[in-house]
Amino acid sequence: MSKLRSVKGMNDVLPEDAARWHRLESTFRELVGRYGFGEVRTPLVEPTDLFVRSIGEATDIVEKEMYTFEDKGEKSLTLRPEGTASAARAWIQHSVGGKHPVSKWFYLGPMYRRERPAKGRYRQFWQAGCEIYGDPGPYVDAELIDFVVRYLRALGIQDIEVLVNSLGAGGTRDRYRDALLEYLRPHASELSEDSQRRLERNPLRVLDSKAPQDQAIAENAPDILDHLDEESREHFETLKSALDDLGTPYRVEPRLVRGLDYYTRTLFEVRGRGGDLGANAALCGGGRYDNMIAELGGPATPAIGFAIGLDRLLLVMAETEPKPTLDGFLVVQAKELRGKALAIAQTLRDAGARVDADLRGGSMKSQFRRADKSSAPFALILGEREAAEGTVQVKELATGEQRELPIDQVAAAIIRD
Ligand code: HAM
């Protein structure tokens, strides 16, 4: 019989790895709290149309990477490939704009893209993201970019590069599209198959193609910053000076277009430069999408956000000192005392201690072996006499030091901050 395994590119997190995940998540929750973001939780599955209309038909995600299925032959559904479209759908559906002129949302959860699995690239991966609705920027844009840098620093990730660009608004896209097409058309036959197919419909996608032949051609493409409308140029200039005021390091990268169609004006990406991932891996991507809410049927509302790839952070983050998950491990001298031990463990847990016991009834030696293997710094030994007197022996496993304590003093003695 073939062995059952998880789906390719979809990974388990076992308890010993969970501490590092918790650190990513709790640091994020702590930081978003300081900025007043509220959490949104949307379904993992949405109508396929939502992603086609927002991310764009001629993108890698929509053309090749979505997990799409028919729900009993009635409706096309898709596992969310990202969080922005779902959050926007929820924001529109619950008429949030009518209640709050500006809303700040965050989310944390798994996303699904059928990409070719590799280190740092999975088919189920976790994103932590923020979205702000109702503020046209550019100061809030700078604040968000700075937020990402602060979050990464809080995790000890220093070796990063922040790239910023502007895609402009209004006529910029059309003007730039024309200029780009004019440049790309003579090279059409040298482009990858994907890019040839997308050339007329969505020439911007050629710029972020991963195919080497496309990248070589993209290098000399016209510069979008030369095509910005006046308002977008001012927006971008102010963004840069706000980043300077914050002391946030960044580099302007006019070739940055990112692989989703919904962006307007501010665009940014944070790349890691070291660690297991290798150079230039995108740790975070984000940008402004001032037209998307209206295009999805909501009231015209400016918006901006980002998403950080948590799986990738794990690969560049410094090792986390493993923290003990237990305070004490109960060792029981006689089998008959197991019921009593169970009650003591419960009393200690009620008092806030993290306590486990080996209730299988093995020898003291085997129970001590389990105590040693557990992360508990203390063994709590219960013999006949201790049981009669309402005490336990508290033994510090690292030093062998031992003292007898009444049950009601044990929790305070073993709980650490
Ligand atoms: P994205 O650039 O597609 O943007 O993804 C953001 C981050 O998710 C990437 O920088 C990367 O760290 C991580 N990521 C993407 N795909 C994978 C994968 N297959 N395996 C592991 N990690 C991955 C978005 O998703 C936009 N929704 C960001 C945004 C929010 N823009 C505005 N608001």
In contact, 306 and 284? CB cutoff 8 Å: yes
Closest CA to 140 of 253, 239, 231, 236: 239
What string of pLDDT tens digits covers the 417 residues of the chain?
789 999 999 999 998 889 899 999 999 999 999 999 999 999 999 999 999 999 999 899 999 999 999 998 889 999 999 999 999 999 999 999 999 999 999 999 999 999 999 999 999 999 999 999 999 999 999 999 999 999 999 999 999 999 999 999 978 888 898 999 999 999 999 999 999 998 988 898 898 888 999 999 999 999 999 999 999 999 999 999 999 999 999 999 998 988 898 999 999 999 998 666 766 689 999 999 999 999 999 999 999 999 999 999 999 887 767 777 899 999 999 999 999 999 999 999 999 999 999 999 899 999 999 999 998 999 999 999 999 999 999 999 999 999 999 999 999 999 986
Distance 260 CA to ligand 1 centre (A): 10
Assess whether the C-beta atom of 42 lies below 6 angstroms from ligand 1.
Answer: no
Give the pair of three-digit tokens for residue 23. 């650190």
Give the pair of three-digit tokens for residue 101. 């002129």
User: According to the model, what pLDDT value does residue 303 have?
Assistant: 98
Assess whether the C-beta atom of 121 lies below 6 angstroms from ligand 1.
Answer: yes
Beta bridge partners of 76: 70
Could you give the CA distance from residue 218 to residue 144 in angstroms, rounded to a whole number? 28
User: According to the model, what pLDDT value does residue 275 have?
Assistant: 65
Could you give the CA distance from residue 213 to residue 414 in angstroms, rounded to a whole number? 63
Residue ranges of E strands in 86-211: 103-112, 124-133, 160-166
Write 365-373 long-range contacts (CB < 8 A, 24+).
367/331, 367/332, 368/331, 370/329, 371/329, 371/331, 371/397, 372/397
Could you give the CA distance from residue 22 to residue 28 in angstroms, rounded to a whole number? 10
Distance 285 CA to ligand 1 centre (A): 6
User: According to the model, what pLDDT value does residue 278 have?
Assistant: 67
In contact, 287 and 109? CB cutoff 8 Å: no
Could you give the CA distance from residue 271 to residue 378 in angstroms, rounded to a whole number? 43
Q: What is the CATH number of domain 15-170+229-316?
A: 3.30.930.10
User: According to the model, what pLDDT value does residue 319 have?
Assistant: 72
Distance 81 CA to ligand 1 centre (A): 9
Assess whether the C-beta atom of 86 lies below 6 angstroms from ligand 1.
Answer: no
Closest CA to 304 of 86, 104, 32: 104
User: According to the model, what pLDDT value does residue 58 have?
Assistant: 87
So where are the chain's domains?
15-170+229-316, 328-414
Alpha helices (runs of H) in 36-123, residue ranges in sequence order: 48-55, 60, 84-93, 96-99
Q: Which atom, in ligand 1's list, is nearest to the CA of 288? A: 32
CATH fit for domain 328-414, picks 1.20.210.10, 3.40.50.800, 3.10.129.10, 2.30.110.10: 3.40.50.800
Distance 243 CA to ligand 1 centre (A): 22
Could you give the CA distance from residue 214 to residue 220 in angstroms, rounded to a whole number? 11
Assess whether the C-beta atom of 56 lies below 6 angstroms from ligand 1.
Answer: no
Assess whether the C-beta atom of 298 lies below 6 angstroms from ligand 1.
Answer: no
Distance 361 CA to ligand 1 centre (A): 50
Instruction: Report the length, in residues, of the chain.
Output: 417
**What burial class does residue 240 get, using C-beta atoms within 10 Å of its C-beta: 0-12 exposed, 13-18 middle, 19+ buried?**
middle
In contact, 168 and 232? CB cutoff 8 Å: yes
> pTM to 2 decimals?
0.92
Order of strands across the sheet that contains 68-71 = 45-47, 75-79, 68-71
Q: Which atom, in ligand 1's list, is nearest to the CA of 122? A: 20
Assess whether the C-beta atom of 103 lies below 6 angstroms from ligand 1.
Answer: no
User: According to the model, what pLDDT value does residue 417 have?
Assistant: 66
Give the pair of three-digit tokens for residue 242. 């706000």
Beta bridge partners of 392: 405
Could you give the CA distance from residue 308 to residue 318 in angstroms, rounded to a whole number? 17
Give Cα 36 distance to the centre of its chain.
Answer: 18
Amino acid at 74: E
User: According to the model, what pLDDT value does residue 93 have?
Assistant: 98
Could you give the CA distance from residue 354 to residue 324 in angstroms, rounded to a whole number? 10
**What burial class does residue 98 get, using C-beta atoms within 10 Å of its C-beta: 0-12 exposed, 13-18 middle, 19+ buried?**
exposed
User: According to the model, what pLDDT value does residue 276 have?
Assistant: 67
Is 155 in a helix, a strand, or coil? coil
Please count the other Cβ atoms lying within 10 Å of the Cβ belonging to residue 88: 26
Distance 258 CA to ligand 1 centre (A): 10
Assess whether the C-beta atom of 307 lies below 6 angstroms from ligand 1.
Answer: yes
Give the pair of three-digit tokens for residue 245. 């005021």
